[in-house]
């Protein structure tokens, strides 16, 4: 079930977020090297699976795909130090 999150470093164009991504966004939002977090599209109706993340580099930051129980969502995290942000994100999964 998607919820909404807004404020701080979250862009205001899209505020829906899956349950599995909420703790991750709250954690990386507090990091001083993170300047912006863009919440991407949500895919629903997936087969049940364990929660996990996949991290890929992008220009100016990292792309994190968060897999929930039956949903997944992409997050675009703009950061001045991608390796540190990636390690911070991996502490939750």
Q: State the Cα–Cα distance between residues 92 and 69, nearest whole angstrom.
A: 15
Average pLDDT on 45-51 reads: 93
pLDDT tens digit sequence for 8-18: 778 767 778 99
Assess whether pLDDT exceeds 60 at residue 1.
Answer: no
Q: What percent of the chain has pLDDT over 70?
A: 95
Cβ–Cβ under 8 Å, residues 92 and 23:
yes
Predicted pLDDT at 33: 97
Q: Which long-range contacts (CB under 8 A, 24 or more apart) does 4-10 make?
A: 5/39, 9/34, 9/35, 9/36, 9/37, 10/37, 10/39
Count of domains in the chain? 1
Predicted pLDDT at 12: 63
Cβ–Cβ under 8 Å, residues 37 and 29:
yes
Residue with structure tokens 């991750």? 24
Which residue range forms the structural domain that includes residue 72? 3-90
pLDDT tens digit sequence for 54-77: 999 999 999 999 999 999 999 999
């Amino acid at each position: 079930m998607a919820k909404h999150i807004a404020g701080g470093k979250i862009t205001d164009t899209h505020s829906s977020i899956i349950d599995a991504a909420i703790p991750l966004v709250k954690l990386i939002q507090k990091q001083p090297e993170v300047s912006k977090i863009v919440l991407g599209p949500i895919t629903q109706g997936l087969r049940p699976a364990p929660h996990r993340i996949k991290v890929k580099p992008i220009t100016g930051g990292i792309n994190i795909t968060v897999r929930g129980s039956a949903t997944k969502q992409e997050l675009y995290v703009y950061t001045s130090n991608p390796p540190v942000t990636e390690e911070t994100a991996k502490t939750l999964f």
